[in-house]
A and B are shown apart, each in its own frame.
Chain A
Amino acid sequence: DAGITQSPRHKVTETGTPVTLRCHQTENHRYMYWYRQDPGHGLRLIHYSYGVKDTDKGEVSDGYSVSRSKTEDFLLTLESATSSQTSVYFCAISESGRTSGKNEQFFGPGTRLTVL
């Protein structure tokens, strides 16, 4: 988990409220990702970023938005939280370059979100 922090680590919120999760890296990696982990589904990609202000959708992006105004920070926002968004959220980073597809990802410690 070195070089990647997530905040908060735990959060309980109510249905309909907005929630923002933060991922911060000190590795200066170009690519950043948000995943959610649910039993029976493994990790599913929500959104990813390939540079400052450059983002793209993953397979489960509905109800989520992201922003990246600085290299080191990648924010995930649940615009109006629902119970189906109760999950563990992981941020990941990977290096860039011509061989970026070959590079492994490094994961943060996760944020456990409960939506009541």
Chain B
Amino acid sequence: AQSVAQPEDQVNVAEGNPLTVKCTYSVSGNPYLFWYVQYPNRGLQFLLKYITGDNLVKGSYGFEAEFNKSQTSFHLKKPSALVSDSALYFCAVRDLGYQKVTFGTGTKLQVIP
């Protein structure tokens, strides 16, 4: 079975500071990892994904994520937070060869002006 954990329900960061949203996963094989963002009253939007190759993945809106196989983590990062980054962030995992995607419970990011 595959699973994903987002240990923080909420992350607060000051505007201009770096931000990190944590995600750890568990799969039996090689993982496909995804980050999505959800703004209020909207559907989820794709941010970035890790399939294979370079452990540092760059995505939309200046976000990046680092895949760490030994720690089974895929933390989302941004060097300088914007107020407009405030939203709900979901990590998701898909085991190789398995069609279903498992989502984390989400982390609310609050960027304080």
21 contacts between A and B (CB under 8 A): A1-B42, A31-B99, A33-B101, A42-B105, A43-B90, A43-B103, A45-B102, A48-B99, A58-B100, A90-B44, A92-B43, A101-B98, A101-B99, A102-B51, A104-B46, A105-B44, A105-B101, A106-B46, A107-B36, A107-B44, A110-B41
| Interface residues of B, dominant DSSP | loop
Instruction: Tell me the B63-113 residues at the A interface (CB within 8 Å).
Output: 90, 94, 96-106
Chain B nearest Cβ from A110, distance in angstroms: 6
A110 to B43, CA, bound (A): 6
By a beta-carbon cutoff of 8 Å, the part of chain B in contact with chain A is 6, 32, 34, 36, 41-46, 49, 51, 90, 94, 96-106
Q: Please tell me if the beta carbons of B90 and A42 are within 8 angstroms of each other in the complex.
A: yes
Counting chain A CB atoms within 10 Å of each CB, the highest count among B34, B41, B99 belongs to B99
